[in-house]
Structure formats: C-alpha cells, structure tokens
Amino acid sequence: MDLDVYGSFAEIGAGQEVAANFFKAGGASGTIAKTISAYDMTFSDAIYGKFERYVCEPRLMMMLDKEFNLLIERLDDRIDSTKFFAFANTVEALNYKRTNHSHGWIGIRFQLRPNSSPNDCVIHVEMIDRDNLWQQQALGIIGVNLIYACFHFTNPDEFLLSLMDDLSPERIEVDMFRLDGPDFKDVDNRLMSLKLVKNGMTSLAMFGRDGKVMQPSEALYRKNPLILRGRFRPVTHVNVDMLLSARRRFKEEPDVKKENIRVISELTLTDLSAEGEIDNRDFLHRVDIICSLGQDVMISNHYEYFRLVSHISRYTLGSKIGIILGIYNLASVFEERFYLDLPGGILESFGILFGQNLKLFVYPSLQSNSKKFYNLENFELPAHLKSLFDYLIANNKLEDIKTADRSLLHIVSDNVLNMIQNGKPGWEDMVPKKVSQAIKEEGLFNYMEPKAKLKVAEKSN
C-alpha cells in the first residue's frame, strides 16, 4: 500500500515465489515495476553475464546491478518521489530425485529516501524442507520478510530476527547476512554473523581475516580446512605454535593440496558465553586479534567435534579436514558421558567423526601433577577404550605434533588474561607482538597498566 516503494523482481531457480506473494495479496501494480525469470541458461547469460556457477553471490550482485540501474534509467521521472528497490534471488531448489544441495542467494538493493544512494542486504539460505513445493513456499516467505525489513526496521537486530517470521530453522537456515550502505554504516556484520548462530538461524557462520562475512559452503567448497578451536582470550604463543606446527604437517598429507588449505580459528557459543551471556565487545576483541594474525574465523554452536566435522564435510565433499586440539581436549573426545543422547553412544559419534576424511593433530602438554611431557605416547585412557584408540592410531586418524615448542607449554591463556586485567607484568612475553600491541593500544580484555608504572605516574604528578 506504500506507493513510494517501487521496484523490480528477478528470480531464478524456484519460480517467482516472492513476486507471486505480492500478486496474491493484490494491488501489486503499486509495488512491482517488473518481474523476470531467465530460466534458460542462454537467456540468463545474455542478460546477466556468464558465470562458472549459477547459484553464487557474484551472479546475485550482477542481477542487482542490472535491475537497479534499469529502474533508475527507465523511471527517471519518479526519481524524486520514489524509493526504488531491486530484489533478486538465484536458487537451486530440490530436484525430483532429492539428491542435490538445496540453497540460494537472496538480495535486495534499496533506497530509504528518494534519489539517495542505495543500500544492499544479501543473505544465503539453506533450504531444509524435503519437498520442492514447501521449499518454494519458504523462499517466498523469507523474500517478503526481507523486503519488509528493509523499509520498516532500522535496528539491525530487529531486521535480522524478522527474516524468520512465520518460518523456523527446521525449514530454512540463514548462514550468511550482510547489510551495508550509507544508512547502515554502524552495522558490524561480524556481530551479525554471531547473532545468526546465537539466534538459532544457523549452526555455523564465517567471516574472513579482512572482517568480511563469508558463506561457509562457498568458502569451504572442496577446500582442505585446518581448524583450531579455542577461546582465544587472548591468542598466545601456544595458539600460534599449534597452528604453524599442524599446518606444516597438514600440507605434507598426500591428499591435501597446499593451495586448498584454509586455516580457520573456531569459536563456539559456549566459549563465547560468560554466565550465559555473550559480551559483544569481548567477542570483537578476540576476532580483531585473530584476524590481525591472518586467520579466518568460524562461529558455531557445535560443541561436539563430530557435529562440527559432519557439518563441514557437507561442503568439503570428501576433501581432507584437519582439526588441531590439545591432548586434554582429546581426552574429552573420549568421554562417553558426552554421547549419552546418541543411540550408538561413543561408537556412533566416532563413526561420524572419523568416518570422514579427517585427521586430528594433537598438541602436547605438561601433566598438571608431575609437569612431565604428555602426548599420544603416554595418553591415558580407560582400558575398555584402549583398542578404539589403537585403531585410530593404526589408521592415521591421530598424530602427535612432534615439532611443538616445549618452551611454551607453561603458557596458560587464563593466567595470561588474569595478568592483563590485574596489571601484572610479563604477559607480553606470552603473546605475539601484534597481540600485545593491540591489547595495549585498544585497551582490550579490560587491560590495566602495570602497577609499577601507575605508581611512577602518580609520583610524577
């Protein structure tokens, strides 16, 4: 009914489901300038250009560019009175054999004021319904929600949550969200990635070392991800040594291509929570430091390793996955109490975890009681699990990181954080130089000046 809002719809892959909802509601001529579905590849290529993959973000952006520019060019008499938008999607819906990956890119370029610079909102969806018609319906709903949000919500949290009105994650997941433009300069899309996971809209989200959001299936497509899970509060020399040592070994694996390795630091919601709450400022402190060291960041709600690997393997399509973990974290992997909800218990979880093309690189530690070197050679397990451990060793699923720098094993991140927050000297030697500089310059992790310096400053005053 808002005659100031006017635009075009370009939809490829699952029917014109979003535009169809406007037609069904009636009065569509007040909103729709044009609808188009270029299903034939030859027609589609002629209109939007040729791409290696038809369901991808570059193609979506080309569609938005083309359609928005056409609106401005052909309706120049309305420029001063109309808020224009161009809505587009490129989708792969479920085929009749139900064997394909059902997903899609959805985007809108829109003005909040006539004759103003436009904003962009782009999302990627995973369609969960196992029926093609249900997928089309869900696609139509989320498209309408997106258009509505653009013109009615300036608060990014409300904007994000409204996308799932009348939907559930059992039907459709949103695993990438990007909102930018002159009217949304203050939106930090890294925080929006966190909120996708926190709000249950997806179980895994990513952004790159440059801070730009990434779509997991494209970022990991046929890649060899090497993943380090941790709290990174802060990143220490141990974390860096774990990554570098494991990477040297990972690239020597016969089925790993060096150019396909993607090094990722992964944070789980449980590691981000403090007393049930996630501190956005603390989260950004951690990811700023991780990105400054050249790492991509993954956020997930997969506490168990087997769930994380099962999710990632959907995108790697058989390519080898590397996971880096400490010896004490490996002990938790063998804890049977974590698998009581599975009918097959630990065997089911190990079948999912190690049934993939996976290798765990295990970083040593010092035994807390004796300060002795602790690795796979003297790994302690209950007797009834020893054969399972031997099987994994024999099948090259576990490997000691033998090049670990033993001089670093005394560093514990919780102790470093305590020193940072209480003004105790010496923590700088336990973290990379970039990390210590960032902590001091930005006041990260509630950094406190060393007490000795404070006393000197007080005397000089």
* Torsion angle of the four alpha carbons 216, 218, 224, 228, in this order, in degrees rounded to the nearest 10: -20
pLDDT at 71 over 70: yes
Residue 106 banded pLDDT, cuts 50, 70, 90: very high
Domains of the chain: 5-187 (3.90.950.20), 218-408 (3.40.50), 413-460 (no CATH)
Number of alpha helices (DSSP H) and beta strands (DSSP E) in the chain: 17, 18
Q: How far apart are CA 76 and CA 68, in angstroms?
A: 12
Q: How confident is the model at residue 99 (pLDDT cuts 50, 70, 90)?
A: confident
Examine the pLDDT at 452 and tell me if it is beyond 60.
no
Average per-residue pLDDT in the chain?
A: 91
Task: Specify whether the CB–CB gap between 175 and 126 falls below 8 A.
Answer: yes
Residue 1 has pLDDT above 80, yes or no: no
Number of C-beta neighbours around residue 389 at 10 A: 17
Q: What is the pLDDT of residue 396?
A: 95
Provide the pLDDT confidence category of residue 89 given band limits of 50, 70 and 90.
very high
State the Cα–Cα distance between residues 166 and 140, nearest whole angstrom.
Answer: 11
Q: What pLDDT sits at residue 446?
A: 86
What is the distance between the alpha carbons of residues 125 and 201, in angstroms, rounded to a whole number? Answer: 10
pLDDT of 194-245, one tens digit each? 999 999 999 999 999 898 999 999 999 999 999 999 989 899 999 999 999 9
The mean pLDDT value for 174-197 works out to 95
Q: What percent of the chain has pLDDT over 70?
A: 97
pLDDT for 344-370, tens place per residue?
Answer: 999 999 999 999 999 999 999 988 766
Per-residue model confidence (pLDDT) at position 456:
45
pLDDT given at position 276: 64
* Residue 26 near residue 34 (C-beta atoms within 8 A): no
